[in-house]
Structure 1
Amino acid sequence: MITTLAVHPTTTTRAQTPDQIQAANLALRYLRLLLKQAGPVHGNLSEPFSFNSLGLSSRRGGSGRRRTTGEGLILSSNDTEVINNKFANESSLWARAEDFWQVVGWCFNCSILHKRRWDRWNAWLTYMLEVLEADWDAREHDGGDESRERSLIVKYINSGVTTAGRQRRILRAIFADGRTKSVAEFGEVWENETKALKKDMDIKKAEKKIDIETDNYGDYMEDEDDEDLEDSADDSSSQPEQISQSQDSTPNVADDLGGMASINLRLRLLSLLSKVSAVLPDDFTDLNSLYDNFLEHIRSLPIPAFFLIMSPTTLRVFTPAAASSLTQYILRSLIAASAPLPLNDNLSQDILERSYIPYAANTISIVDNTKVSLCVETLLRLLDFHIGLAWTPGLQEAAEVGIRARTAKAKRKQTKRGTDGDGACDGTWLAASAERIRGVVGMAKP
């Protein structure tokens, strides 16, 4: 119930009184305090944070299940306390959503299409990631792999669709982009969730006193009539498919993925999935298969979005080894076939000089050559930050050879602005990346 109060539209974006907004804020504060004081494992957060779509659940263990009656969901005899209101039962987040990934996809769709709803979903998803990360880390110390198999993230991974399709669905949720197909798959949790109250509703509805002791929740338990609702002013007036990717919008390019807060949460989820794959491949998938799915979504991004996702700053949510491995994995799919690729992901300055820096893309596309340059730049910065670069004539020469190779190859198809279907890529991004590569190498000089 408390988790639902933190994000339900009637206590947030459709709140009619300051008390309702305060209830949502206090609910989130309580959840954060619970995580801080009790922790995810000892606080047994896996139990209340279980999805039971359609009112069926075995989250109490044993034979205890929920059943639906005309008055909502009635807890079985296993439960020590009954909370008889809709936020704890049929209208709770955990009953309304299909599973965690449906909510994740809806959160990210809101980050693009419904900014007011995103404000609340952002807070919820940030909290849930704190829970998932803390739960995973705590189990590393409590019992190793066996304990991690019971982690909340593994529970969410194994829920929902069949094994064959779950990995792709999870990645589609994380990369939800607000387009029609994405909204159809990851839709709203509550009916009419994005609609706002008509302006005169605040005047028509008087405040009602709340008394939890007597089960009097004032307006909280009242359903809004459809005629009391209208489209929210923050809803995008254009179709999701018309999201701009032009160079004129590059200062706000993060908005194409919902803003930097949304990008950071997406990457934190990818990082957590990488950790699960590395430790428990049998429970999810091996790293190569996971990175194949990462590649499918990241490689096709427009240059500005690709730059944001693959920059060393945003990749810091990954471990250094994972950030390096992911960058190399994407780079290998783009780089020229003549590049002598290393046998593993262990990165060193020598490998950079021989295998990556001097090479162009495997196509004459300016987009692909720009992405190769951005990946090379990221690897240089990662190595410099975590280990340190040592300037040598060979490093300088490799950098210049690579810059010339990518520029020359890309120019062979640079006949007009917007070639290769990316209006933001006219050579500016490639030239800027080349200068940054020179800068990183130059800074390594003693």
Structure 2
Amino acid sequence: MSTSPLTALPSSSSPASFYTPVGGSPATAGDCTNLSTPATEPASSPYRDARPLPRELKEHCQIFFEEQMYNAGIQLLDSLLCAGAGARPGHGKPACVPPPPQIALLATLAIHPTHTTRVAERAQLLVASEALQYLRNLLAIAGPVNANLRAAFEFRVSSRGGRRHYGLDATSDEDDVDEEHIHGRFANESSLWTRGQDLWKVLGWAFNCSAVHPHRWRYWRPWLEFLMDALEADFDERQRLDLEAHERSARDGEDCKFPLLRESLLMSHINTGNRLGLKTIMKSLCAEGSQASLTVFQEVFEKESKSAAQASNKRKREQILDLDNDKFGDYYDDGASMYSSQESEPPTPEKMARGPGRPSAQATRSPPPSAGFIESIPLRLHCATDLFPSFLQLARASLELPKPFAALHEVYGAFADAVRELRAPLFAPFVSTRASPLPVASQVSLLRALLEPFLPRASPYPGDVDAEADEENGVSLAILRECYLPFAANNNAVEANAKYSLVAENLVRLVWAESEVRHAPELQRAVEKGVRARGEKARARGRGRPPRGPAASEGGGGDEGVAREALDRSGERLLTMMRVLEIDSAGASD
């Protein structure tokens, strides 16, 4: 029987696995890989040089946008961006880049319900799709730094007449900024960057939509994917430029201070002082559509959750055509029937739970995770365990911030705390290793962080069982057998024991997939003992208090019944894995 450990060593593809620094020594709070000394020469830029739009063309585009001729403005910008492209990426004439207010407007048009879920005609959907496609082209051709996405994607409002000033600093000319100001609702009071308050409020609402508003998630998903790409590309490009400048300076013995990274797009959203905390950020990544989550992360746009059919049923009698104020006259008459007949909105969990008369046992139970929620898991995990920690790692090591936003190990801890609060059906997709987008090292770190608060005092310390694996914050078969598998959670709540079982199950899957595991009586006994202990603890909770009402025949009501089912099925899968392992080991010996 092999007990080779499954470690959490950091790699270039997984900057979030910061528990063990390069070199293999144990990680402590604040330790991280120092990226200030590049191992190789900086890579060449993958982007074309950029220049601002000529004044006349900039004014043409501004007129198009202010007159709501969005398609014409986007097509003009796209043709100017692609003109003069070279045969290879990063070559060709400088690309023409619009000012930040125009980029910010396009980001709003790409997701605003007026141009997505509440369009008067299907043709209007082209505005949102073309706006998002242009933003992707801009990111790929000019790059995030040349396009000044840092200024375009700011959540801030000036005190002067509600106008937003993009990239205004001590050297900026306010008259020039005012010349770039776009009149119109979508560029000002209804702009995403005005209504959204901050990035994490927007992310929280978008992830709520994945669970309860699928018609909105259909549009938020590609928008979030673009935003994640922009954050990552901005991080990489600023790091490349800083290293390139450091190489040119040729000052031996002095670390690169990464001045451009100090102004990165991601830094602008996490460096918010005391107004936002790490826990709030991580909760936004775990927003699941519950009433509590919807209270914290509310609609970005006014009445955003209403579909076209719903808006049609509740519209006023007056037939006024005023696109700037979301009044479409009789345009909805055809649009409502078109949408209601072809794209009926799936029922939300709240609708499923409501109904005439007394709710049934099924209605009182939490519904299984929606398809949208499952689709959102990779985005949530990527931001929480890759993009976000990778920046904090570099900030801690090289930027020498006077007040670091968080210690590196606190990122995984805060994310694990947020995930642990989810109900068992929503908790399961986060811990599943079957199709996880995370590297194995990150999966190990997350699973261990999730399991530790559930461990009973009787469980041995992993370092006493396998010091080498524990030193690297890894997991081995010996740690599983002695420290995790034989135990139940440290309380008798059904939810706690279900989550404990799900984490233990997926740790077994990881060890089995990454190392040679053979059947052994002691492993079998550990699994059986743990399944029995967790089941008995969960049953002890209900002794003397039999369930009442229609849920009694189903073994429990509400969320507890769902958690009990998750616990039982997880235990069955663990026992099945042991039987498969026994059969495989018997076949190998023959």
Question: Fold-level match, TM-score > 0.5?
Answer: yes
Deviation for aligned residue 1:107? 1.5
Aligned-partner Cα distance in 2 for 1:262–1:76: 43
Aligned-partner Cα distance in 2 for 1:402–1:305: 23
Q: Letter of the aligned partner of 2:117 in structure 1?
A: T
Aligned-partner Cα distance in 2 for 1:157–1:241: 37
Aligned-partner Cα distance in 2 for 1:93–1:433: 42
Deviation for aligned residue 1:12? 1.6
Bigger shift: 225-234 or 304-313? 225-234
Aligned-partner Cα distance in 1 for 2:262–2:566: 43
Matched, 1:437 2:544: no
Matched, 1:172 2:306: no
Matched, 1:286 2:395: no
Question: 1:250·1:304 contact (CA, 8 Å) conserved in 2?
Answer: no
Matched, 1:269 2:386: no
Question: 1:58·1:64 contact (CA, 8 Å) conserved in 2?
Answer: no
Q: Letter of the aligned partner of 1:330 in structure 2?
A: L
Question: 1:109·1:176 contact (CA, 8 Å) conserved in 2?
Answer: yes
Give me the TM-score of the superposition, normalised by structure 2.
0.61
2:19 corresponding residue in structure 1: none
Cα distance 1:407–1:138, how it changes in 2: closer, same or farther (>3 A)?
Answer: farther
Q: State the identity %.
A: 32
Deviation for aligned residue 1:302? 2.1
1:135-182 deviations in Å (ceiling 9; x for gaps): 3345555547835443322221123xx426422322332233434444
Q: Letter of the aligned partner of 1:93 in structure 2?
A: L
Secondary structure in 2 matching 1:26:
helix
- What residue ranges of structure 1 are gaps of 5+ in the alignment? 67-74, 208-218
Aligned-partner Cα distance in 1 for 2:415–2:566: 23
Paired residue total:
421
Q: How does 1:35-434 map to 2 (within 5 A)?
A: 35-53=139-157, 55=162, 59-63=166-170, 76-78=175-177, 81=180, 83-139=182-238, 142-143=241-242, 146=258, 148-159=261-272, 162-163=273-274, 165-195=276-306, 196=308, 197-198=311-312, 221=324, 223-224=326-327, 234=345, 239=350, 253-255=368-370, 259-271=373-385, 272-281=387-396, 283-313=404-434, 316-343=436-463, 344=470, 345-385=473-513, 387-393=514-520, 394-415=522-543, 416=546, 417-418=555-556, 422-426=560-564, 428-434=565-571
Deviation for aligned residue 1:327? 1.0
Aligned-partner Cα distance in 2 for 1:376–1:383: 11
Q: Letter of the aligned partner of 1:88 in structure 2?
A: A
1:286-319 deviations in Å (ceiling 9; x for gaps): 24433443343322322211112211146x3333
Deviation for aligned residue 1:35? 2.5
Secondary structure in 2 matching 1:317:
coil
2:552 corresponding residue in structure 1: none
Secondary structure in 2 matching 1:4:
helix
Cα distance 1:276–1:56, how it changes in 2: closer, same or farther (>3 A)?
Answer: farther
Aligned-partner Cα distance in 1 for 2:314–2:525: 69
Bigger shift: 415-424 or 387-396? 415-424
Aligned-partner Cα distance in 1 for 2:390–2:275: 20
Question: 1:365·1:420 contact (CA, 8 Å) conserved in 2?
Answer: no
Bigger shift: 120-129 or 132-141? 132-141
Secondary structure in 1 matching 2:176:
coil
Question: 1:11·1:220 contact (CA, 8 Å) conserved in 2?
Answer: no
Aligned-partner Cα distance in 2 for 1:357–1:301: 22
Cα distance 1:37–1:337, how it changes in 2: closer, same or farther (>3 A)?
Answer: same
Aligned-partner Cα distance in 1 for 2:516–2:237: 35
Deviation for aligned residue 1:102? 1.8
Cα distance 1:102–1:64, how it changes in 2: closer, same or farther (>3 A)?
Answer: farther
- What residue ranges of structure 2 are gaps of 5+ in the alignment? 1-104, 244-256, 397-402, 464-469, 547-554
Which of the residues 118, 135, 158 maps onto 1:31? 135
Deviation for aligned residue 1:338? 1.2
- CA-based RMSD of the aligned residues comes to 4.1
Question: 1:198·1:228 contact (CA, 8 Å) conserved in 2?
Answer: no
Secondary structure in 1 matching 2:529:
helix
Deviation for aligned residue 1:424? 0.6
Deviation for aligned residue 1:420? 9.9
Secondary structure in 2 matching 1:424:
helix
Question: 2:109·2:186 contact (CA, 8 Å) conserved in 1?
Answer: yes
1:192-247 deviations in Å (ceiling 9; x for gaps): 3344442799xx9899xxxxxxxxxxx75454289999999849687589599977
Give me the TM-score of the superposition, normalised by structure 1.
0.78
Secondary structure in 1 matching 2:561:
coil
Aligned-partner Cα distance in 1 for 2:303–2:568: 47
Cα distance 1:251–1:384, how it changes in 2: closer, same or farther (>3 A)?
Answer: farther
1:82-118 deviations in Å (ceiling 9; x for gaps): 5444433443222332111121122223334433223
Aligned-partner Cα distance in 1 for 2:577–2:295: 44
Question: 1:245·1:424 contact (CA, 8 Å) conserved in 2?
Answer: no
Deviation for aligned residue 1:125? 1.6
Larger radius of gyration: 2
Question: 2:228·2:383 contact (CA, 8 Å) conserved in 1?
Answer: yes
